[in-house]
Amino acid sequence: MRGPPPRVLEWILGRVLHASSRESVLGDLHEEYVRIEGDRGRSAALMWYAGQALASLRPSVRRRFSRGFPRVARTRRGMVVDSLLMGVMQAWRSLWRRPAYTVAAVTTLALAIGANAATFGVVDAILLRPLSYPDAERIVSLGETHPARQSDWGWLSIPNLADWRAEAASFEAAALFRGGSMAVTGDGDPEYVVGMRVEPAFFEVFGTAAHVGRTVSGSEAGDESYSTVVLSHGLWTRRHGGSPDIVGTMLILDGSAHTIVGVMPRGFNAGGDWIGAPVDVWVPVDFAAMGESRSDRSYNAAARLRPGATVSDARAELSLIASRLSAIHPDENDGWSSGVMPWKELIVGDTRSTLLLVWAAMALVLLAACANVGNLVLNRALARESDAAVRRALGARSGRLVGGVLLESVLLALAGAALGFLLAFALLSAVRALDPGDLPRLATAAVDVRGAGFTVLVAVAVGVSLGLYPAWRASRAGVQDTLRSARSGASRNARRVRDGMTVVQLAIAVALLAGSALAMHGFLRLRSVPPGFQSADVLTATVVLSWNRVPERADRAAFTRAVLDRLRALPGVESAAMINSLPFSGSSMQQTFLVAGRPASPQDEPFAGIRGISPDYARTMRIPVRGRELRDADLVVNPSAVLVNETLANRYFAGRDPLGERIVLFGGEVEAEIIGVIGDVHHFSLDRAAVPEIYVPYTADFLSSKTFLVRSGRDPASLGDAVRTAIHDVDADQPLRARGPERAETVPLNRIVSDSLGGQRFRTLVLTLLAGLAVVLSVVGLSAVIAITVTERTREIGLRMALGADRRAVLRWMLRRTAGLTTIGLIAGMAIVLAGGRALEAMLFDLTARDPGTLLLGAAAFLLIAAPAVLAPSLRATRIDPGRVLRDE
Amino acid sequence: MSDEPNEVEQLILLALVRLGGDAYGVPVRSEIVGRAGRSISLAAVYAALDRMEQRGHVESWFSDPLPERGGRARKHFRVTPSGARALREAREVMLRMWDGLERHPDLEAS
């Protein structure tokens, strides 16, 4: 994708460049950026741009100041600016003279500030920035809820929404919608696109005008809008090359022609932002004609609140209407009530706590980095205290001395921020590339002007707090005291501050290490949860039969049977089967049912997920079955044989054997015998318990998606082409659903299981990286403090040794000091973990934040890493030559 | 400030002449980088062009706004007769000083 250069860099350059050539330079840079991006890719272009930006700073700054100076210097303000600039130059030169110190401090700060800026970018994109729709805070999602059934959020039935809409006054517009795959055929390759079937009022709810052409509206004469389609910017550029002439032409969707009336602007993804996929087409549909059942809650709805109406107004109003509807339609609505949720909350959902946790961890790392650099700055200031005292004695104003120390640390922090800012770019693109798939709006995360502002703010705060203590000392140090204490090392106070900052670093490192040990433990536990089937050696391929092309249920069944026959005949195939919604595919259909001979009131009517399967499904997936599997003879439209899972058997047949019992399904249409009890499968994700499920023959199934499964003795991927050919032999125009960025049409089942852990893996990885950073910082910090102590105490140690202390005693003395710091650090670190425990537990699977074994492991790991860093300088202390110390005296 | 073009300015003037009518920041810079092997930032190129324009050694005009530049105009430059004179003079000064020294032992490349 070609785009303009990053806005932040342009903005910064725009501030710095001289007005006379600003536009020309920016224009040239833009031009070259676009060219390089086309030739060598985005990262090369970014590097080039950043390099040019840096190179342009020097001449521009010099030019500005050399012209501005003589004029302002004549005023009082000018003199202040002048002296400030002199101070900056002095601080700059002083930093320049000690490159090791400067590089260490700047690198440490850059890492911490960069990580924070990147996190801010993500948090800002996901949590802070409002959605991109006009008046987005008025957009809500509607749904029916059934507390007893723990129903998923956001589903409702068509007639119920129609009644809500007719009676409620809180809404300006409300529209049903439902997402799904649609096949695009005709010109070009057939492909599946993500489609949103919507009521025309949908576009009023989201209030966004078309980029090209128009949208449709609720007031439009119905039938005309029902054969139109509105394209996404993405599909428009991908399939139609972004041509504006597209409006008025036809698009074949699921076999029927739709007139393209408009294209939405880039980034508009209404509906898709909820399901977490980019929508390609919005298709106006007459929902009223689609279903009249109040109990078929398989539709979603979005609404726009009237100006002035609040979410709680709407909730109160709808719940009155809903309870009235339950009274009128007890059979369908009893136990169901209404719900209203702000659209943004729907999208952000559970990620809030995770993000805040990561941000808190980042803030801790920044704190550790500050403590680390703070020690460096303090030592630097201590080393120069005698110098400062002399300057004071000679008449330097204390303001100047304080200012110097502060300026130096602010300069360090700003340099760290500048470097960190570049780092944040790299980090964010890495995060976007790693996209775990469950973070909404991640693609829009960027380091922009807000991020830059945040970074600079952090940097100045860091710089000031770093310099504050040394500056305070500089302001009050008496000449005599200082000169005297300069010989015996740091004063007691300074030592205490230094120890305090070391403890802070240790505590943070321990906390993050223990936290990431917890996260890793939770992840490993989750990964070891048996999914209920054996995923190795199974290849999957999914098709979605189009209603228009294969309208009859019998034809769909024939298609399935024909494909399965071919798959079973493939060489090397042990068994082949079909299921309509594969575990972890995110889809399911729930229905109520009755156990024959056991009437139930509508509130406690049993319910279960319905899956359509073929014979051999359990054998192919290696799911245990008690009783028997389906046979070919069971494949009839009104099935007389079904399987139920263990959870259903336990919940609804407690103490009885369900085998041979009969259940009534599909609103009484079907009565079938339970011929087998099949093992539980984690259908949604490994961390959600199995739900009651009924497996019916695929002939009774009316979902249009079909996933074929092939188990073979060899590498399943090698069967990919054969499986694709088998499906295309039956129907050459039937596209296979593509999965993931590589758009794979056949996917190993292993891959599907492991992808379902993407979010957890991502979080664990982030925490582990942060913990690693904190450990490095604290170990370096600790060993530096010991080393400084050794240097400062050389005289004392030498004297002790001269007076008879042996090397072992010296080592003991040094280690005692270290042990004290480390113990306090460990205790404080554990306290941090326990305090943040609740937030952490939200992302731990089946584990409390107080898990003692894991916490101890974290602490032990830290000690193991820290030991050599402590030992090395301590051993150096034992090698001090007492004779030499005495000679130096 | 003296009116004689310094070394960077001379390089830029020469690049302008070489490029003919097509001279603006990007090609001028790549001409200097490519031919003379000198690294120079765009901002420095423009700063020098700006100085020389004030001295009357170059003159400039703007193109229409171009989409590939984010809607910004391109600023084109051309050497004025006085710029050309200054460039010639600078060369002659150098040549006069070099005269007879091409084979001087102290200037032999080591």
Helices marked H in A643-694: 646-652
pLDDT tens-digit readout, B11-31: 999 999 988 877 888 889 888
Do residues B72 and A23 lie in contact, with contact meaning Cβ atoms separated by under 8 Å? yes
φ, ψ for residue A643 (rounded to 5)? Answer: -110, 150
The model's pTM is: 0.64
The whole-number pLDDT of residue A71 equals: 39
A21 in contact with B at a CB cutoff of 8 Å? Answer: yes
Rounded Cα–Cα distance for residues A627 and A636 (Å) = 20
B42 in contact with A at a CB cutoff of 8 Å? Answer: yes
ipTM of the complex, rounded to two decimals: 0.85
Nearest-CA residue of chain B relative to A51? B41
Contact flag B43-A59 (C-beta cutoff 8 Å): yes
Contacts of A741 (CB under 8 A, 6+ apart): none
The whole-number pLDDT of residue A37 equals: 86
Amino acid at A208: T
The whole-number pLDDT of residue A70 equals: 39
Contact flag A27-B41 (C-beta cutoff 8 Å): no
> Is the pLDDT confidence value at A283 over 70?
yes
Of the two residues A886 and A117, the one the predictor is more confident about is A117
Contact flag B42-A18 (C-beta cutoff 8 Å): no
Contact flag A28-B26 (C-beta cutoff 8 Å): yes
Rounded Cα–Cα distance for residues A259 and A225 (Å) = 9
The whole-number pLDDT of residue A315 equals: 92
The first and second tokens of residue B92, run together, are 């002659």
The whole-number pLDDT of residue A230 equals: 94
Rounded Cα–Cα distance for residues A615 and A672 (Å) = 16
Rounded Cα–Cα distance for residues A216 and A262 (Å) = 9
List the single residue in A17, A31, A34 with the smallest CB-CB distance to B43: A17
The angle subtended at Cα A653 by Cα A652 and Cα A654, nearest 5°, is: 100
The first and second tokens of residue B56, run together, are 């009357």
Residues of A in contact with B75 (CB under 8 A): 21, 23-24, 27
Of the two residues A279 and A292, the one the predictor is more confident about is A279
List the single residue in B24, B41, B74 with the smallest CB-CB distance to A56: B41
The first and second tokens of residue A776, run together, are 């490095």
A81 in contact with B at a CB cutoff of 8 Å? Answer: no
Residue with tokens 């960027």: A446
> Is the pLDDT confidence value at A168 over 80?
yes
Rounded Cα–Cα distance for residues A461 and B49 (Å) = 40
Residues of B in contact with A31 (CB under 8 A): 26, 66, 68-69
Of A129-133, A281-285, A575-579, A678-682, the poorest mean pLDDT is in A129-133
Contact flag A28-B69 (C-beta cutoff 8 Å): yes
B74 in contact with A at a CB cutoff of 8 Å? Answer: yes
B26 in contact with A at a CB cutoff of 8 Å? Answer: yes
Mean pLDDT of the region A320-342: 89
> Is the pLDDT confidence value at A403 over 80?
no
From residue A175, give the alpha-carbon distance in Å to each of A231, A302, A796: 18, 6, 81
> Is the pLDDT confidence value at A739 over 80?
no
B47 in contact with A at a CB cutoff of 8 Å? Answer: yes
Cβ count near A865 (within 10 Å)? 16
Longest dimension (CA), chain A: 106
Contact flag B24-A21 (C-beta cutoff 8 Å): no
Do residues B26 and A48 lie in contact, with contact meaning Cβ atoms separated by under 8 Å? no
Nearest-CA residue of chain A relative to B65? A27
Nearest-CA residue of chain A relative to B62? A24
> Is the pLDDT confidence value at A299 over 50?
yes
List the single residue in A27, A28, A59 with the smallest CB-CB distance to B44: A59
The whole-number pLDDT of residue B109 equals: 65
> Is the pLDDT confidence value at A79 over 60?
no
Region of residue A565 (phi > 0: left; psi between -120 and 50: alpha; otherwise: beta): alpha
Mean pLDDT of the region B82-94: 91
The whole-number pLDDT of residue A436 equals: 61
The whole-number pLDDT of residue A68 equals: 41
Mean pLDDT of the region A258-267: 91
The whole-number pLDDT of residue A84 equals: 67
Chain A nearest CA to B11, separation (Å): 17
> Is the pLDDT confidence value at A531 over 80?
yes
B94 in contact with A at a CB cutoff of 8 Å? Answer: no
Rounded Cα–Cα distance for residues A637 and A640 (Å) = 9
A705 in contact with B at a CB cutoff of 8 Å? Answer: no
Mean pLDDT of the region A529-544: 88
Pairing between β-strand A746-748 and β-strand A538-544 as defined by DSSP bridges: antiparallel
Mean pLDDT of the region A531-560: 82
Of the two residues A417 and A563, the one the predictor is more confident about is A563
Residues of A in contact with B74 (CB under 8 A): 24, 27
Nearest-CA residue of chain B relative to A32? B26
Of the two residues A867 and A63, the one the predictor is more confident about is A867
Contact flag A30-B26 (C-beta cutoff 8 Å): no
Rounded to 10°, the helix A22-40/A42-72 angle is 170
> Is the pLDDT confidence value at A258 over 60?
yes
A889 burial level (CB within 10 Å; 0-12, 13-18, 19+): exposed
Rounded Cα–Cα distance for residues A74 and A80 (Å) = 11
The whole-number pLDDT of residue A516 equals: 82
The first and second tokens of residue A642, run together, are 């079904």
B72 in contact with A at a CB cutoff of 8 Å? Answer: yes
pLDDT tens-digit readout, A42-77: 888 888 888 877 777 666 665 555 444 433 344 455
The whole-number pLDDT of residue A73 equals: 40
The first and second tokens of residue A457, run together, are 């703010």
Do residues A577 and A616 lie in contact, with contact meaning Cβ atoms separated by under 8 Å? yes
Do residues A138 and A333 lie in contact, with contact meaning Cβ atoms separated by under 8 Å? no
Residues of B in contact with A52 (CB under 8 A): 41-42
A63 in contact with B at a CB cutoff of 8 Å? Answer: yes
Residues of A in contact with B29 (CB under 8 A): 28
> Is the pLDDT confidence value at A229 over 80?
yes
> Is the pLDDT confidence value at A643 over 90?
yes
- For an interface test with B, give the residue of A10, A13, A28, A57 to mutate (most B CBs within 10 A): A28
Three-state secondary-structure class, residue A668? helix
Is residue A252 within a helix (H) or strand (E), and if so which, with residue range?
Answer: strand A250-253
> Is the pLDDT confidence value at A85 over 80?
no
**A and B: number of Cβ contacts within 8 A:** 74
DSSP A706-774: EEEEEEESS-GGGGHHHHHHHHHHH-TT-PBPPBTTTTBSEEEHHHHHHHTTHHHHHHHHHHHHHHHHH
Mean pLDDT of the region A294-320: 90
A55 in contact with B at a CB cutoff of 8 Å? Answer: yes
Give the rounded percent of residues in chain A with a pLDDT score beyond 90.
16
**C-alpha neighbours within 13 Å on the C-beta side of residue A352:** 9
A33 burial level (CB within 10 Å; 0-12, 13-18, 19+): buried
Of A84-88, A436-440, A673-677, the poorest mean pLDDT is in A436-440
The whole-number pLDDT of residue B1 equals: 43
Chain A nearest CA to B43, separation (Å): 5
Q: Which of residues 50-69 of B touch A (CB under 8 A)?
A: 50, 66, 68-69
Contact flag A25-B43 (C-beta cutoff 8 Å): yes
Do residues A303 and A174 lie in contact, with contact meaning Cβ atoms separated by under 8 Å? yes
Rounded Cα–Cα distance for residues A91 and A407 (Å) = 7
Rounded Cα–Cα distance for residues A733 and A710 (Å) = 22
- In the 8-state DSSP scheme, what is residue A276? T
**Number of H-type helices and E-type strands within chain B:** 4, 2
The whole-number pLDDT of residue A834 equals: 82
A603 in contact with B at a CB cutoff of 8 Å? Answer: no
Region of residue A116 (phi > 0: left; psi between -120 and 50: alpha; otherwise: beta): alpha
pLDDT tens-digit readout, A421-431: 888 888 888 77
> Is the pLDDT confidence value at A487 over 70?
no
A879 burial level (CB within 10 Å; 0-12, 13-18, 19+): exposed
List the single residue in B41, B50, B72 with the smallest CB-CB distance to A23: B72
> Is the pLDDT confidence value at A483 over 70?
no
Contact flag A34-B43 (C-beta cutoff 8 Å): no
- The residues facing A625 across adjacent strands are A678
DSSP A839-889: HHHTTSSS--TT-HHHHHHHHHHHHHHHHHHHHHHHHHHHT--HHHHHHH-
Amino acid at A830: M
The whole-number pLDDT of residue B10 equals: 92
Contacts of A95 (CB under 8 A, 6+ apart): A101, A102, A408, A411, A412
What mean pLDDT, rounded, does chain A reach?
A: 81
Mean pLDDT of the region A300-318: 92
Q: How far is CA A713 from the centre of its chain?
A: 37
Contacts of A73 (CB under 8 A, 6+ apart): A79, A81, A82
pLDDT tens-digit readout, A152-162: 788 889 999 99
Do residues A674 and A658 lie in contact, with contact meaning Cβ atoms separated by under 8 Å? yes
Residues of B in contact with A17 (CB under 8 A): 43
Rounded Cα–Cα distance for residues A773 and A368 (Å) = 10
Residues in chain A: 889
The whole-number pLDDT of residue A67 equals: 45
Rounded Cα–Cα distance for residues A29 and A35 (Å) = 10
Highest mean pLDDT among A114-118, A265-269, A435-439, A563-567: A563-567
A60 in contact with B at a CB cutoff of 8 Å? Answer: yes
